[in-house]
Amino acid sequence: MSRKYFGTDGVRGKVGVSPITPDFVLGLGYAAGKVLTRTRRGAERPAVLIGKDTRISGYMLESALEAGLAAAGVDVLLVGPMPTPAVAYLTRALRLSAGIVISASHNPYDDNGIKFFSGEGAKLPDKVETAIEAELARPLQCKKSAQLGKARRIDDAVGRYIEFCKSTFPTHLDLRGLRLVVDSAHGATYHIAAHVFHELGADVEEIGNKPDGYNINAACGATHPQALQEAVKKHRADLGIALDGDGDRLVMVDGRGAVYDGDQLLYVIASHRKKRNQLKGGVVGTLMTNLGMEHALARLKIPFARAKVGDRYVLEMLQAKGWELGGENSGHIVCLDRHSTGDGIISALQVLSALRDNKTTLAKAAAAVKLYPQILINVRSERRFDFNADRSVQQAVAKAAAALDGSGRVLLRASGTEPVIRVMVEGKSRSAVTHWAETIAAAVRKAAS
């Protein structure tokens, strides 16, 4: 059964447009509750944690989910605005059946989404999401009153998560003498991130920490690091840390204002672990991982493998190989020895521990990664079409591949989180890469219209 609603990161879309409507989300909560009831361990009724980011629509969707889950006989624990990885951690720590996050991650405020975590704090496997979709097709039959779920709030969730993040930083190190700027993207880490770094000794300046329901990810955070670059220079900081709206992406800026993406930060962590003989196996990237990072790892004799795009697929490959470290150039970094999922705050702490331990700068630690020019163009497509079968698109791809002559890559893929087709071209020459990316994007745009 092909999935109709679930993409690479749960169910996502424009608020008020199917499927992100109150009636659908109520049904989704009920369907998820039914599936969890069938798969729960022990005799007790299942319990689910719900967290959200700071979007105005979170209130509405939270209420709908709570109602659907309660109708299915599932108890609900509410934590309010919390980062996605915090929900994963708390679900595991509280021994719950599942965790649910209401968020559209790095998307603008008028998008939203629902994503699920298992009781172990990992993204739900495809087969469970498929089972939830199958349940959605059946009528909602509310449990009898005596069997309905109850709801309560967890008041100490923020403090629990702050302490968990701090516990992933080596006890023999601290951040004293380090001036940081932390950009929370007006998102779910606005009341958490700065406290973590400050309590480890850093002098912290905050930006992007005043959410109003509408400004999440707006010209700030990991997807718009320009605000962080300016703040780092203004405050004469040593480093800047940018998170996205739900706190699972990380981008960093050094004192000169240079931006470091997920590939470069992943290399810093991996090379440090290799040096200390603490790297288990190799590193997992994705189809979007820059060739420069792959080549830098090869020089250190660190094995590397590519998964499909999406942190869930990075996680699946890590588990299959028995490795611990992986990530995406967008800033999702997974350190399985620290957490069960990608976590922007914890990833930043791993980078900082490498810099402090080696007494070096971010520029020096990442210098071995010579990134190839990589151009990514998003072509909006409201209808689904098979670009692999479109003759004009494939001709443009073939011409680009011939021109790059083995010194670059061409990748087309449909986004799992937005109605766009992503066109990526990578190679040694920026002008050539730009030309072929624009040429292929034009072919896709014409074919999709």
Same domain, 100 and 25: yes
198, amino acid identity: H
Give the domain CATH number at 61: 3.40.120.10
Q: Residue 424: enclosing H or E segment and its boundaries?
A: strand 420-426
Q: Is residue 389 part of a domain?
A: yes
Which residues constitute the domain of residue 242? Answer: 177-256
Residues 110, 42 share a domain: yes
Last residue of a domain, one of 203, 225, 256: 256
Are 68 and 150 in a shared domain? yes
Give the DSSP letter string of 106-124: TS-TTEEEEEEEETTSSBP
For residue 171, is it within any domain? no
Determine the pLDDT at residue 41. Answer: 54
Asked if residue 102 belongs to a domain, the reply is yes
Q: Quick one: CA dihedral 194, 198, 204, 205, positive or negative?
A: positive
Same domain, 378 and 343: no
CA 218 to chain centre: 17
Whether 189 and 66 share a structural domain: no
Token pair of 299, please? 């020089």
Q: Establish if 323 belongs to a structural domain.
A: yes
How far is 113 from 129, CA to CA, in rounded Å? 14
Q: Which residues participate in catalysis according to the annotation? A: 105
Same domain assignment for residues 45 and 128: yes
Helix, strand or coil, per DSSP, at residue 128 = helix
Residues 19 and 128 in one domain: yes
Judge if 337 and 205 occupy the same domain: no
Domain count for the chain: 4
Nearest Cα residue to 116 out of 213, 3, 8:
8
Q: Are residues 295 and 247 in the same domain?
A: no
Which domain-ending residue is among 236, 256, 276?
A: 256
Same domain, 54 and 139: yes
How many whole angstroms separate alpha carbon 82 and alpha carbon 229? 25
Does residue 78 sit in the same domain as residue 107? yes
What is the DSSP track for 23-46?
HHHHHHHHHHHHHHHHH--SSSPP
- Asked, for residue 4, whether it belongs to a domain, the answer is no
Q: Is there a domain that residue 298 lies in?
A: yes
Q: Strand pairing of 111-118 and 11-14?
A: antiparallel
Per-residue pLDDT of the chain (449 residues; tens, 9 = 90+): 467 899 878 999 999 999 999 999 999 999 999 998 776 555 578 999 999 999 999 999 999 999 999 999 999 999 999 999 999 999 999 999 999 999 999 999 999 999 999 999 988 878 889 999 999 999 999 999 999 999 999 999 999 999 999 999 999 999 999 999 999 999 999 999 999 999 999 999 999 999 999 999 999 999 999 999 999 999 999 999 999 999 999 999 999 999 999 999 999 999 999 999 999 999 999 999 999 999 999 999 999 999 998 888 999 999 999 999 999 999 999 999 999 999 999 999 999 999 999 999 999 999 999 999 999 999 998 777 789 889 999 999 999 999 998 788 999 988 877 789 999 999 999 999 999 999 999 999 999 88
Among 223, 256, 289, the domain-final residue is 256
Q: What is the pLDDT of residue 87?
A: 98
Radius of gyration of the chain (CA): 22
Number of Cβ within 10 Å of residue 399's Cβ equals 15
Q: Which residues contact 84 (CB under 8 A, 6 or more apart)?
A: 51, 101, 103, 105, 115, 188, 246, 247, 248, 341
Same structural domain for residues 138 and 21?
Answer: yes
Q: What is the CATH number of the domain that holds 419?
A: 3.30.310.50
Q: Which helix (H) or strand (E) holds 401?
A: helix 391-404
Alpha helix ranges (H) inside 40-146: 58-71, 84-93, 126-136
* Domain membership flag for residue 287: yes
Paired sense of beta strands 420-426 and 374-380, if any = antiparallel
pLDDT attached to residue 331 = 97
Classify residue 230: in a domain, yes or no. yes
